[in-house]
Structure 1
């Protein structure tokens, strides 16, 4: 018998730390966006991305700020429906849907805020983006 997946959670986003999370929910939950890697403020290391998607930006503070701003435009103040898939650093890793039904992971990639992190994209069963 297969265990049932954890129930979806609703996240009213009140803060976006960087382009892959955490997103801080009004409930106090912190969510890492599943399947993507974005520039962050904690590290100057290059982002993980396939060779075909590499660009000439480094994961520096400017790239991290731009990524955070894009995800904030997508999610801040919105009600997301999120399906937990894992835990990482005391955060829930989740596949989240925007109010219009789009995957937040796909929207972040399409907007240039993040890249697919293929190892986790496959692990979390992210599927394709429209």
Structure 2
């Protein structure tokens, strides 16, 4: 069911996602419709057996403990709720999408809550920069 559904979802298409399960902090998020969503523009820790970790790709955080924590925090936020998503593309048989939880951008919420970080490679328009915590500059006056 995933492949025909994936073929129907083109960039810019909006679709609802009633969340039935969450694999990790950035997806896949499994929807009641059968869709599998990967959140756009963010990167959460991956489980050590995930493909990028098995291949030793340096830009990935590979930690079962961190991935479990990110997944559990995302589950608490969205499990059983309906997201309003807009497709941006495809990756690994998943729909890459920006999703909203009510009025909030879910990728932005994930960054703000420490579930994931902004992935510069996939946020080229710098949309999610606004979500990153502001860093304060502390100057010593002495």
CA distance in 2, matches of 1:127, 1:117: 10
Q: How does 1:1-130 map to 2 (within 5 A)?
A: 6-41=12-47, 42=50, 43=53, 48=59, 59-99=62-102, 101-122=103-124, 126=128, 128-129=130-131
Q: Which has the higher contact order (CA 8 A, sep 6+)?
A: 1
* TM-score using structure 1 length: 0.80
Task: Mark the CA change 1:19 to 1:84 in structure 2 (over 3 Å): closer, same or farther.
Answer: same
Name stretches of at least 5 consecutive residues in structure 1 with no aligned partner: 50-57
Task: Mark the CA change 1:102 to 1:47 in structure 2 (over 3 Å): closer, same or farther.
Answer: farther
Name stretches of at least 5 consecutive residues in structure 2 with no aligned partner: 1-9, 133-142
Q: How far is the alpha carbon of 1:8 from its aligned partner?
A: 0.5
- Which structure shows the bigger proportion of residues in helix conformation? 2
Cα deviation 1:52-85 (Å, max 9, x = unaligned): xxxxxx5311000000011111111110000100
Q: Which segment is superposed worse, 114-123 or 60-69?
A: 114-123
Please identify the structure whose Cα radius of gyration is greater: 2
CA distance in 1, matches of 2:66, 2:125: 26
Number of paired residues? 118
* TM-score using structure 2 length: 0.73
